[in-house]
Structure 1
Amino acid sequence: MSVVLPSLTTFDPETSSEGALDPLGLYLIADQLATRLVPAVRERMQRIRFLTAMAVGAIVTEEFEPSSVEESCAPWLVWEWLVVESLLRSPTIASELRGVPGTLVTKRALNSHKYLDDKSYLKTPRIFGFHGVYKRLAIHLGLVDVHMKPQAGAEELVLAWAHDQGWTNLRDANPVLDAWRTGVRRSLEAKPPRTHTYWNGDAWEQLAQSLKPDGAGKRERKVLSRLLLNTDHRALGALGDIWGLQESMDDESYCEEKMVEELKNRAPSLLPLLDAISFYEAFCRKLSDGFNVIRTEAAKADIRGLTVTDLGSDQAFESSAANLTDAFEAAYTSLQVIDNGLASQFDERFQRFSGLMPVEEVSIALCEHHEAIQKGKNDSGKRTWFDRLGGDRIYLRHQYRENVPGPQPDRLVHAYRGRPIRNFYKDLR
């Protein structure tokens, strides 16, 4: 018997907008549901004080015209370089940093050539830098506009920050703000633009201490809390209700599952959305657990690969595939209650799981679904996590054999903004 050898290809990097692999295309609808629950907050958000760093930066860079510099070195981005570099330069802060985008590449750049520029910083800072991560929230709260220019809310927040720093008003803070403006200007004028400030260690340390992620003062915390808990046109959906759950929870017991269930009791008006989340997650859990069983068994197979239809007699796979049609129908119906368009999107993406089928056919359907999702991820498509050796036989690529979770029937597949809100709460207590 001839054996078709699998082709080894480059590892498919993490590409989900929230930094997680999404081999079954489950994240898109989950993210839309989470956005309905808490608008403008994203899972990558961890430290609320970056809103202050953005507000201060918007005032510092307000006089600079974006058109006068390279697009990849916008004034707000140069400000971001300076803030992140200052935090990494500070001996009292660097070792304790968490939740700061770009620290690894910054540390590498400082060790290599002692400065940051557009080539040594994040490849897509507009998405993964702190401005990119927090921009939507900062705009929603009225701190900056789409061009990172200060709005009315920025002055109030910066004034509170200035008071906590020991200044009576923004005029008293001008010498420091002017020094930071000069640092931005010098960096922009460098050829090519880079962090080029002529600052000594004390100047770097002052910037770091003024904006370190866990350093918000009493007045600043009060303004940030009020902004997050607004109930006017800038309200953040269920954030206030989730905030109200925080005092009764601790880090060890805090989980998304508990948050969703507690919200059902606390906010009855959210029940249709929370039910949609619960039913969609139940469907996602079945697909996710089933796919992970396939990976687990495929990792055990030899070079001849795994015949996926053999999983029809596997207890774990059979459990994940049980009542799959019912789970599809419940998810579709609950999504229809809140948004027909979202229900149609669900139906179009997961239609192959809508009808009754034997367990062994579910295994084939999962493989085919994964192939379709990977193919549609971009113009050229992403490679599948396995190679096909025949109609029902696969060979799992080595990069995807590690850290395969077992079935987790009681856990949500996706997060629904509970963790970032928990982090905000802890930072502002």
Structure 2
Amino acid sequence: MTLAGLTLPHLSEFDPPVAGEGSLDPMGVGPVSERLADLLVPGFRARMSQFRLLTAIAVASAICEDVDPDLSADGRTTPQIAFEWMTLEAFANQAAADHPLRGVPGLQKARVTRGRGERLSANSYLKGPKVFGFHGVYKPLATEFGIIDTRFDAGPLRDELLVAWETDNDLEGFVSRQTGTYGQKVRERLTNALRKSLSNKHSELPPTGEVARCIAGTLHPDLAGPNERAVLRTALHAAYPLRSELAHLMADRADSALSEKDFVEWLLPQASPDLRHILQAIDAYEQFARILDVSFRTLCHVSGSMSPSVITPDGVSNQPNLVRAALELPSSHRDALRRLTELGIGVPELEGRFAPFATAMAPRDLVVVLLQHHQAIQTAKPPLGKRPWFEPYKGGVTIRPGYKERALPAYDGSYIHPVRIFALASFLWGLEP
């Protein structure tokens, strides 16, 4: 059937305050997925993969407590960020070819800077170090575990973790600062190097010296000792029973090649009712999100593969992906809404933003609704809105350069959003007994 009153989106003339391209999440399905992932694996983020950096944060906290942040000569570098400079330079210079480094925020910058014969500084490090450095990435979990507090001061677990670390690495005296011990000497040298780094506006830890080699070896992301691993595993299970249950269920399959979608399917029969409700809601919502994403990206593919690239609702109404989406979206929307209602999240979005997709409609009308929805999503993106991917042209719309889809999107595949199962699997794999 045809829905009355639907017209192609009308784009006004270019308005300079609307900034940027808005190339992420064209259908606005990401925020609900993020909240579901927060329920499933709280504290974790999809980009976390090297959980031994939690110990590096603990070491940094101990060193930074003896350093005055007012020493920062560039006026923007915190002691924590300067510690990252020193640690990443040590990693970049380490020569353990049998244990290659991967997944360490900022490491590529350190390698590039080293290749130029320079030292890490505010100008050569990450542009947003407080967000994208390893303190920024891992701070939420370090805070939840009690390693640090929100100001990076010592949390209740910090010294226990450091004692485990120093025991595993023959660094006794680091925590107690007992005079004459090797751990105390390493701590003192790190503290002095940090003070000099802040004052001189670049890393001052000798890159091939004894302390740099010590840091590279004792904080290598893949080489945690047994005592340290035990402390971090215990912290994982302390706060959230459902996350702990998920970790126990996954423990024997953490190294599996399963996709996150397949993992959910495998977990469902074994999960408790509360955990099962979250898994079912994730699965239902990701199915709805995939249909929306595939249908929109199908328009991007069709427009980009045509010459001229103009598409109209009638002209693409027989496209199989769009025909399937028109049939499946209403029931998928109902299922997602039902599952999310059980959890009490995402309901305003499903009943508001995504409400048009709950109604049965013909494929040509779905095209109109998809384009209208996309324009609304882009317009609402902070701070001042983003440009849509399509623009009016010769009685239809055409895909803008840079947004063409080379291949026709497929309905089969894993979830379109990371639900952090892989992040938890990395934690379990890296810290197994």
Separation (CA, whole Å) in 2 of partners of 1:93 and 1:127: 29
Alpha-carbon shift at residue 249 of structure 1 (Å) = 5.9
- Residue 18 of structure 1 corresponds to none
How large is the Cα RMSD of the aligned pairs?
2.5
Change (3 A) 1:325 1:243: same
- Residue 225 of structure 1 corresponds to 233
- Residue 277 of structure 2 corresponds to 272
Alpha-carbon shift at residue 260 of structure 1 (Å) = 1.7
Q: Which stretch of structure 1 is more off in the superposition, 115-124 or 403-412? A: 403-412
- Residue 338 of structure 1 corresponds to 343
Match of 2:302 among 297, 303, 310: 297
Alpha-carbon shift at residue 199 of structure 1 (Å) = 5.3
- Residue 46 of structure 2 corresponds to 43
Separation (CA, whole Å) in 1 of partners of 2:77 and 2:408: 41
Is residue 67–residue 191 contact of structure 2 (8 Å, CA) maintained in 1? Answer: no
Q: Which stretch of structure 1 is more off in the superposition, 325-334 or 55-64? A: 325-334
State the TM-score, normalized to the length of structure 1: 0.88
Change (3 A) 1:33 1:350: same
Runs of 4+, deviation exceeding 6 Å? none
Change (3 A) 1:63 1:390: farther
Change (3 A) 1:390 1:337: farther
After TM superposition, list the pairs within 5 Å mapping 1:81-100 onto structure 2.
81-92=85-96, 96-100=100-104
- Residue 286 of structure 2 corresponds to 281
- Residue 310 of structure 1 corresponds to 315
Is residue 160–residue 223 contact of structure 1 (8 Å, CA) maintained in 2? Answer: yes
Alpha-carbon shift at residue 135 of structure 1 (Å) = 0.4
Larger RCO: 1 or 2 (CA < 8 Å, sep 6+): 2
Alpha-carbon shift at residue 107 of structure 1 (Å) = 2.3
- How many equivalent residue pairs? 409
Alpha-carbon shift at residue 372 of structure 1 (Å) = 1.6
Alpha-carbon shift at residue 101 of structure 1 (Å) = 0.9
Is residue 22–residue 381 contact of structure 2 (8 Å, CA) maintained in 1? Answer: no
- Residue 251 of structure 2 corresponds to 246
Separation (CA, whole Å) in 2 of partners of 1:426 and 1:79: 27
Change (3 A) 1:13 1:68: farther
For 1:165-205, what per-residue CA distance to the aligned partner results, in whole angstroms no more than 9, with x for missing partners? 11344333111011111111000111xx2112345444322
Is residue 55–residue 161 contact of structure 2 (8 Å, CA) maintained in 1? Answer: yes
Q: Secondary structure at the match of 1:383?
A: coil
Match of 2:198 among 188, 196, 213: 188
Question: Which structure: greater helix fraction?
Answer: 1
Separation (CA, whole Å) in 1 of partners of 2:298 and 2:408: 9
Q: Which stretch of structure 1 is more off in the superposition, 279-288 or 373-382? A: 373-382
Separation (CA, whole Å) in 2 of partners of 1:148 and 1:312: 56
Is residue 90–residue 208 contact of structure 2 (8 Å, CA) maintained in 1? Answer: no
Q: Secondary structure at the match of 1:387?
A: strand
Separation (CA, whole Å) in 2 of partners of 1:211 and 1:389: 57
Alpha-carbon shift at residue 211 of structure 1 (Å) = 0.9
Separation (CA, whole Å) in 2 of partners of 1:58 and 1:388: 55
Change (3 A) 1:199 1:275: closer
Is residue 242–residue 418 contact of structure 1 (8 Å, CA) maintained in 2? Answer: no
Gaps of 5+ in 1: 1-5, 15-20
Is residue 228–residue 236 contact of structure 1 (8 Å, CA) maintained in 2? Answer: no
State the TM-score, normalized to the length of structure 2: 0.87
Change (3 A) 1:123 1:405: farther
The letter of the residue matching 2:202 is R
Is residue 106–residue 133 contact of structure 2 (8 Å, CA) maintained in 1? Answer: yes
Percent identity (aligned): 28
- Residue 60 of structure 1 corresponds to 63
Alpha-carbon shift at residue 277 of structure 1 (Å) = 1.4
